[in-house]
Structure 1
């Protein structure tokens, strides 16, 4: 393959989610490397297309009715009109364009069931397959690890009064896979041990969570309702200013852990479970990892941090972010990938 001077980024969805945020960050990194970028996305929903146009990228909007229509239209468009390398940002565009030449397949989720078959099909003809963590190599062998990255999130100096409660924060989808019920159980244990000492700031909504799963989470939260402040959707940078510790208590195999990386950039102490790639993100050697699903262990960890009996070196966490998950690190990895393709 000749040197890469143009990349077309195909989105997984028209609406903006975590993977689509990464598409826009990849586009920015490519532009910084003087590579021309085209973003192709559904016209409806138009979140990705509008964000790409606002950022100044050439944008192609395809008029589609549903996901299957998007895949069909994308395959036809790619065969006739694409310029340069096609960067398939997710399983949907990768499957839609299987067998086409000069494609990068970028998978953000562990493929299972039918998705495992589609993942294998989508890689036919690909010049590279990318995953966001070494942990994902277990389900996508032979791929190349390209960790996600996040912008720097400066944090205001936090100086709560001596009698202020210790505020634990959760940011993300309010579902049992994210371990919200485990965190609720841990908060109940903490309040029993030291009434009034702790509060839980809960940011997020149960988007794409089944009704039965929402009920499971709500039942757990009802037991600590007096301790919980629900803030809904909020900018991470604003949320981090209000908490003393971020907890990421997932119980499913996280393919990355963007919220943890964001907290590290803001120098907010962060504790994660040992689910999926989370220990890989914060560093398993930091001591900020607890067993997934273990509410007593999580409560003990929070209590030790709140009491000062377990030190948290946020400068070390921030340095880890700067080296591995910052925009600068992202540009370096994109350059290395393009150099490999153009060799």
Structure 2
């Protein structure tokens, strides 16, 4: 079994009769839980005029949080209503990345609109957002965060990384951008 075509491709000729693609799924709360947007936006001090953009996942060079932050500086400059959230704990293999992310956020002229929250509850995090970004720089084998975001009816922006481009249909279920843009 493979979780995506991206994972399936290298093995399809080795095990042609035995290989199947069975994508991951989200747990029932992502589909069934009531959206608590109003309550959660209060928790994060967001007004209705704010546009909350979020990234969730372990803070790691491969997950692209620093790349994402730097890419969004022009948007933060132009749109004062944008607030950027990073949810996730530090990568145990590379704890420096969180320090780099925090440093870049603090040194920017938008630091009051960049929130680095540490570990967060996924459902609560998603429900406070207006847009979810998955800025992975490595070849994602699936992209469960993207599926969770879709289950919570969030617009998505993902990088063309591994199976993310399978999971998100560019222009239909979200937007797929190049990793180097």
TM-score, scaled relative to structure 2? 0.78
CA deviation vs aligned residue, 1:242-294 (integer Å, no higher than 9, x gap): 11111101111000111111111111222111111011112235251111132
- Rounded Cα–Cα distance in structure 2 between residues aligned with 1:241 and 1:272: 18
Asked if structure 2 preserves the Cα contact closer than 8 Å seen for 1:187 and 1:198, the reply is no
Relative to structure 1, is the Cα distance of residues 202 and 211 closer, same or farther in structure 2, using a 3 angstrom cutoff?
Answer: closer
Counterpart for residue 155 of structure 2: 269
Q: CA deviation at 1:207?
A: 2.7
Asked if structure 1 preserves the Cα contact closer than 8 Å seen for 2:59 and 2:97, the reply is no
TM-score, scaled relative to structure 1? 0.43
Asked if structure 2 preserves the Cα contact closer than 8 Å seen for 1:247 and 1:272, the reply is yes
1:240 to 126, 130, 135: 126
Residue 149 (str. 1) matches residue 36 (str. 2): no
Structure number with greater CO (CA < 8 Å, separation at least 6) is 2
- Rounded Cα–Cα distance in structure 1 between residues aligned with 2:171 and 2:113: 31
- Rounded Cα–Cα distance in structure 1 between residues aligned with 2:66 and 2:140: 17
Asked if structure 1 preserves the Cα contact closer than 8 Å seen for 2:36 and 2:124, the reply is no
- Rounded Cα–Cα distance in structure 2 between residues aligned with 1:161 and 1:221: 21
Asked if structure 1 preserves the Cα contact closer than 8 Å seen for 2:57 and 2:88, the reply is yes
Superposition RMSD in Å = 2.3
Pairs within 5 Å for 1:223-302: 223=108, 224-286=110-172, 288-294=175-181
CA deviation vs aligned residue, 1:82-116 (integer Å, no higher than 9, x gap): xxxxxxxxxxxxxxxxxxxxxxxxxxxxxxxxxxx
Counterpart for residue 208 of structure 1: 92
Relative to structure 1, is the Cα distance of residues 157 and 228 closer, same or farther in structure 2, using a 3 angstrom cutoff?
Answer: closer
The structure with more helix, counted as a fraction of residues: 1
Aligned residue-pair number: 163
- Rounded Cα–Cα distance in structure 1 between residues aligned with 2:11 and 2:96: 31
Counterpart for residue 60 of structure 2: 175
Counterpart for residue 16 of structure 1: none
Q: CA deviation at 1:215?
A: 4.3
Counterpart for residue 90 of structure 1: none
Residue 192 (str. 1) matches residue 56 (str. 2): no
Q: Name structure 2 gaps, 5 residues minimum.
A: none
Which protein is bigger by CA-based radius of gyration? 1
